Amino acid sequence: MLQPYLLPDRLEAGCDEAGRGCLAGPVACAAVILPPGFSHPLLDDSKKLTERQRGTLRPIIESQALAWCVVMVSPAEIDRINILNASILGMQRAVSGLDIRPDHILVDGNRFKPHPDGIPHTTVVHGDATYASIAAASILAKTHRDALMDTLAREYPQYGWAQNKAYPTKAHRQAIAQYGPTPYHRLTFRLLP
């Protein structure tokens, strides 16, 4: 059962990212402020849900959240500052992009940096399986990134991104070995085994 909040009577934004371990494409970072009392029987960590369940939840979250924002951090920026810093920067940008300023930020994982606006934060390992707002952020980050990878797959069909979403599958690595990297590949990542 997901917890509705960490701190009562605070406007909390849940943050998560998707695509950290991918070999190509951006890392997607999301921030979500859910209304008090929000619940949905399907809501859970995006990794525990099917693509169809995530697709069902995305419009519900987007229409019922008090505020939400999804930010993409490009492969070039990931290569320049590394994936951890890119994920933190993306989540901070997502919080800054919210229409409502939260009182507190709940972050999935164990690493974050103070928000430039001084909004306090708490990191939570497995937060996407613990707090509803982080679970909602994980779903938005994942569905927005998957949709983008489906679009990029039409430009570069040989890499199988519509299926593997640019994760390091055997087929993806074989395609890199055969065709070389695209402009969307993260060149600081180990593209070949």
Distance CA 95, CA 12 (A): 10
Residue whose tokens read 């990794």:
47
CA–CA distance, 162 with 147 (Å, rounded to integer): 9
Q: What is the DSSP letter of 24?
A: B
Over range 70-94, report the average pLDDT: 98
pLDDT digits (tens, 9 = 90+) for 54-77: 999 999 999 999 999 999 999 999
pLDDT of residue 12: 97
- pLDDT tens-digit readout, 104-161: 999 999 999 999 999 999 999 999 999 999 999 999 999 999 999 999 999 999 999 9
| Single-letter code of the amino acid located at 7 | L
pLDDT at 9 (0 to 100)? 87
DSSP state at residue 125: T
Q: How far apart are CA 137 and CA 124, in angstroms?
A: 14
Mean pLDDT of the chain: 96
> What are residue 122's DSSP bridge partners?
106
Query: Which residue in the block uniquely carries the two structure tokens 């009562």?
Result: 8
> In whole angstroms, what is the distance from residue 146 CA to residue 69 CA?
16
Which residue type does 106 have?
L
* pLDDT (0 to 100) of residue 3: 94
Topology annotation, domain 12-179: Nucleotidyltransferase; domain 5 (3.30.420)
Burial profile 63-85: b = 16 or more Cβ within 10 angstroms, e = fewer: eebbbbbbbbbebebbeeeebee
Average of pLDDT values for 160-174?
96
Please choose, from the candidates 99, 117, 136, the residue with its C-alpha nearest in 3D space to the C-alpha of residue 5.
136
Please report how the helices 51-64 and 132-155 are oriented relative to each other, as an axis angle in degrees rounded to 10.
120
